[in-house]
Amino acid sequence: MTDVSDNIDTTDRIAALIREKNELSQQLKQMSALYDSLLTEKERLENILSAVPGQYVPESVKADTLQQHLLKFKMVTVMYLDIRATSSLTDCENSAEAIDELDQVMFHFNDIAEKFRLQVSKTIGYSFLCAGGIPEKNITNPIDVVLAALEMNDYLQTLSYKAAESRGEKFWQLRIGIHTGPVTASASGRKKISYDIKGDTVNNASRIAAAAGVNQINVSVFTYDLVKEFFVTEFIGVIPVKYRDLETYQIKRLKKDYSVNVDKGFYPNSFFQIKYSLRQFTDLQEFILDKLDKELPPFLYYHNTRHTIDVINQVEILGYGEGVSDEDLLLLKTAALFHDTGYIVGSDNHEYFGTQIARDILPNYNYTQEQIEKICQLIMATKLPPNPKDKFERIMCDADLVYLGRTDFIPVSNMLYDELKALGSNLDIDAWNQKQVDFLTKHHYFTETAIKVLEVGKEYQIERLKNLISNHNA
């Protein structure tokens, strides 16, 4: 016979379980609503972050919580590298040694990628995926990736030959596919940021690698067009990719003129570095002009980004006219880019401050100490009155004052007048024009190219100024 008290206890327990179930159901509904709210907010933030330029990613991922944002990059060069053993590792007599060797290969590939400023996205088994142009965009990333591929190929083949001596066979083989295009990337991490890249560019690099021969470096036509100046290439054929066929080329080596070892052709020489730096100058110029736009005082109506661009163009024109070398042209253009950056600090002694800014930034762009010293000398040569010591300083001085002999002299002169007034000058316009007449009369160009092209124009500007003064006083 069942005791009544037992029935009451059972009923109470059931009632308690029902109440607990209802409470848990209510909590679950609240948590579900909170999750939906957080998911909506996450999607909203990802949409905003997807529009943020890649170069700003490192700042945005320094929060205390784990970050993972979707980012878009327009021009990235992706390398997909597939390593294979000529026989199964399980069949290899020294399989443990071979696995350790594979780890060594992957570590070395990571070092090479870091050397060429590439981001390693994934290392899974025999596959190695990395990219140039992330997180900071740069115009040289196709060249960087191909150079890294050549070095990786050389390293693995050397290792394979050593293996052949000990095992009696060449053990390692690789296939490399490279493609340039847009990617999306998710950035994650706290202290060290990593990027997981996805998109058709990654898929195409993988397909190019799959179609490559043993120890071949194959690139798409998009990468080929950006690197063909530097490398010996051979057309391979087309491979099917999404919606179309894609032309592919094999990278054989650096051209002999650009290679340290003429026979091997994997490592660049100093001549290559000059050509590379001339291309990289585009990135440096964009960085400095953006810095000037943001940091120069607004009242600099003459010494602004427009004047800097003008001087860069003029040193190039005068440099070609005077027959300077590629390296000298690079140094002249770099000096022109930095010659007025000192105005960020102040107008007095701005030439000196410009040299300090150059010394701080140029090592990041692989300029040698000797090159930086020459650039700083060229910047200081623009200090008035001009007193150039050699051909390159003469080019620099003429480029900085090229407007004196051009048809736009009067409006440019007026901008300089407005700037000086903002800095505290009390000259009226007639006194300023007379000061310009005096300066033009004493001034002379130094290079033969400038003398031929600009000296006549300068005489014409003197007459224009005198007429302005006369008409204003009439």
Cis peptide bond N-terminal to 142, omega within 30:
no
b/e 266-293 (16+ beta carbons within 10 angstroms → b): bebeeebbbbbbeebbebbbebbbeebe
- Looking at residue 362, what is its pLDDT? 97
Residue 207 one-letter amino acid? R
How far is the C-alpha of 473 from the C-alpha of 369, rounded, in Å?
55
- Looking at residue 65, what is its pLDDT? 37
- Looking at residue 322, what is its pLDDT? 96
- Least confident range from 27-31, 359-363, 458-462: namely 27-31
Reported as half-sphere exposure (CB side, CA atoms, 13 A), residue 250 has a value of 12
- Looking at residue 85, what is its pLDDT? 72
pLDDT in tens, 84-125: 876 655 555 556 666 777 788 888 999 999 999 999 987 776
- Looking at residue 133, what is its pLDDT? 95
- Looking at residue 121, what is its pLDDT? 86
- Least confident range from 70-74, 145-149, 381-385: namely 70-74
Average pLDDT, stretch 443-456?
A: 93
Q: Diameter of the chain by CA atoms?
A: 132
- Looking at residue 62, what is its pLDDT? 43
pLDDT above 70 for 67: no
How far is the C-alpha of 92 from the C-alpha of 167, rounded, in Å?
9
Query: What mean pLDDT value characterizes the chain?
Result: 85
* Share above pLDDT 90 across residues of the chain, in percent, rounded to a whole number: 60
* Share above pLDDT 70 across residues of the chain, in percent, rounded to a whole number: 78
pLDDT bin (cut points 50, 70, 90) of residue 447 is very high
pLDDT in tens, 231-259: 999 999 999 887 789 999 999 999 999 99
Helix/strand/coil for 231: strand
- Looking at residue 8, what is its pLDDT? 53
CATH architecture of 54-268: 2-Layer Sandwich (3.30)
- Looking at residue 263, what is its pLDDT? 75
- Looking at residue 63, what is its pLDDT? 44
Instruction: Tell me whether the CATH fold assigned to 54-268 matches the one assigned to 274-473.
Output: no
Average pLDDT, stretch 49-68?
A: 47
Higher-confidence position of 29 and 405: 405
Helix/strand/coil for 405: helix
Query: Which helix (H) or strand (E) is 295 found in, with range?
Result: helix 270-295
- Looking at residue 24, what is its pLDDT? 66
DSSP 264: T
Higher-confidence position of 158 and 328: 328
pLDDT in tens, 278-304: 999 999 999 999 999 999 999 999 999
Query: Which helix (H) or strand (E) is 119 found in, with range?
Result: strand 119-124
Higher-confidence position of 473 and 325: 325
Helix/strand/coil for 6: helix
- Least confident range from 64-78, 138-152, 160-174: namely 160-174
Helix 429-442 vs helix 409-422: angle between axes, to the nearest 10 degrees? 120
CATH topology (fold) of 274-473: Hypothetical protein af1432 (1.10.3210)
Tell me whether residue 404 is exposed, middle or buried, using C-beta atoms within 10 angstroms of its C-beta: 0 to 12, 13 to 18, 19 or more: buried
How far is the C-alpha of 403 from the C-alpha of 372, rounded, in Å?
27
Residue 332 one-letter amino acid? L
Average pLDDT, stretch 184-199?
A: 81
Average pLDDT, stretch 197-218?
A: 93
Cis peptide bond N-terminal to 411, omega within 30:
no
Cβ distance 103 to 185 under 8 Å?
A: no
- Looking at residue 170, what is its pLDDT? 59
For the chain, the distance separating the N- and C-terminal CA atoms, rounded to the nearest angstrom, is 132
How far is the C-alpha of 147 from the C-alpha of 275, rounded, in Å?
14
- Looking at residue 15, what is its pLDDT? 62
Q: Which of 415, 441, 428 is nearest to 473 (CA)?
A: 428
Domain ranges of the chain: 1-49, 54-268, 274-473
Reported as half-sphere exposure (CB side, CA atoms, 13 A), residue 348 has a value of 1
Cβ atoms within 10 Å of 202's Cβ, excluding its own:
23
pLDDT in tens, 362-371: 999 999 999 9
- Looking at residue 280, what is its pLDDT? 96
Asked whether the whole model's pTM tops 0.85, one would answer no
